[in-house]
Amino acid sequence: MNTFFQLLISALLVSSLYTLVAVGFTMYVGVINLANFSHGDTCVMGTFLLMPLFLFATKMGWMTPLAGLVIPALIILVILVTGLWGAGIYKILVKPLLVAPRLILLLASVAAGQVIREAIRVIYPNGSNPQVFPKLLPSGGIELSGLTLGYDSLTIIFLTIACIISLNFIIQRTKMGLAMRAVSQNSDVSQIMGINIEKTIISVFILGSALAGLAGILNGTYYGIAKFNLGSNLGIKGFSAAVIGGLGDFQGAIIGGVLLGFIEVFASAYIPNGSQYQDVFSFLAVIAFLIFRPSGILGEKIFEKV
């Protein structure tokens, strides 16, 4: 029974990480119909931004007395920087290509991801090799009848839920969110309702990239390791979760992320030799969805217009 609960917790953790990536991924699809394949690499950018900052703070001796303040501050700093990166990507890459066919923008996003990946490899000391990610979250945990709930795990799950709730609030209850939902449905009509679509799209890029930054940090803390090329895998997982839930659908991305996490963890635990094939299970699920229900769980059926 205990193994089952341990598995449940790690499934929740993996789900949290995937959901965070998927929610960002699906926002781009929802609002400007773009599969942004640099999203995973933006996450890794967050991972690799945090490490030198952490080392610096440790060197300055801020960590021992003030870790509880400094670490959140560092995380916020990284989120701000990746958010800024999102704005930059919009200005440099997306805006000039907005009128081009979306496929071109998609390829451009693949290129942007490549730039991040190679930049990390070249700039970061010994960047081609895996790096040890610092322990950011408190160790220890709560013991519940032989079951350990680590504080770090709880923090990751809690932060993910907090992010999703605030994002949902932004989308459903604020003027900016209304603009995003309107632009996603009809950008011409949105403009004549007075929506500044450029401002709306740039907010999507800032929000999405900021979210990616946090996802990267949490991913690093969970696995304790940082690799320059983790982004493509992470991006594809986010994409897969978004596809399973229904591309462009916010709630769909959450469902997809959770489902993907559970499939991966439980399949690799209960299928003999499964852990070697962890990725295979999730991609099989995606392929099954693409074949049998390409619009995803929540996505509407795509009708051929006559």
Partner 1 sequence: MLEVNAINVKYGKSIVLQDVSLSIQQGEIVTILGPNGSGKTTLVRSIVGLTPITSGEVNFFGQKLNHLKSHQIVAKGIVVVPEGRGIFPKLSVEDNLRTGYIFLENDRDVMLEKIQDAYTRFPILGQRRNQLAGTLSGGEQTMLAVSRAMMRKPKLLLMDEPSLGLSPKLVQQTFNIIQELHQAGTSILLIEQNAVKALAICDRGYILQKGKVVLNGPKQLLISDERVHKAYFAME
In the complex, the residues that contact partner 1 under the rule CB under 8 A are 175, 178-179, 181-182, 185-186, 188-197
**Strand positions, DSSP E, 59-186:** 131-132, 141-144, 147-150
CB of 305 to partner 1, least distance (A): 13
User: Shortest distance, CB of residue 110 to partner 1, whole angstroms?
Assistant: 29
Contacts of 119 (CB under 8 A, 6+ apart): none
CB 155 within 8 A of CB 267: no
Q: Minimum CB separation from partner 1 for residue 210, in Å?
A: 24
Min dist CB 192 to partner 1, Å, is 5
Tokens of residue 244, six digits: 């399973």
Residue 85: CA count within 13 A, CB half-sphere: 26
Do residues 238 and 24 touch, judged by C-beta distance below 8 A?
A: yes
Which residue, 44 or 298, has its beta carbon nearer to partner 1?
298
Tokens of 20: 């965070």
Residue 289 burial (C-beta neighbours within 10 Å; 0-12, 13-18, 19+): buried
Q: Is the distance from CB of 256 to CB of 210 less than 8 angstroms?
A: no
Please identify, using beta-carbon distances, which residue of 128 and 196 lies nearer to partner 1: 196
CA-CA distance, 152 to 131, in Å (whole number)?
20
Compute the least distance from the CB of residue 303 to partner 1, in Å.
Answer: 13
As beta bridge partners, residue 144 has 147
**Closest CB to partner 1 among residues 95, 181:** 181
Q: How far is the CB of 3 from partner 1 (least distance, A)?
A: 43
Nearer to partner 1, 119 or 176 (CB): 176
Measured distance CA(57)–CA(52) in Å, rounded: 8
Between 59 and 175, name the residue whose CB sits nearer to partner 1: 175
Q: Nearer to partner 1 by C-beta: 288 or 300?
A: 300
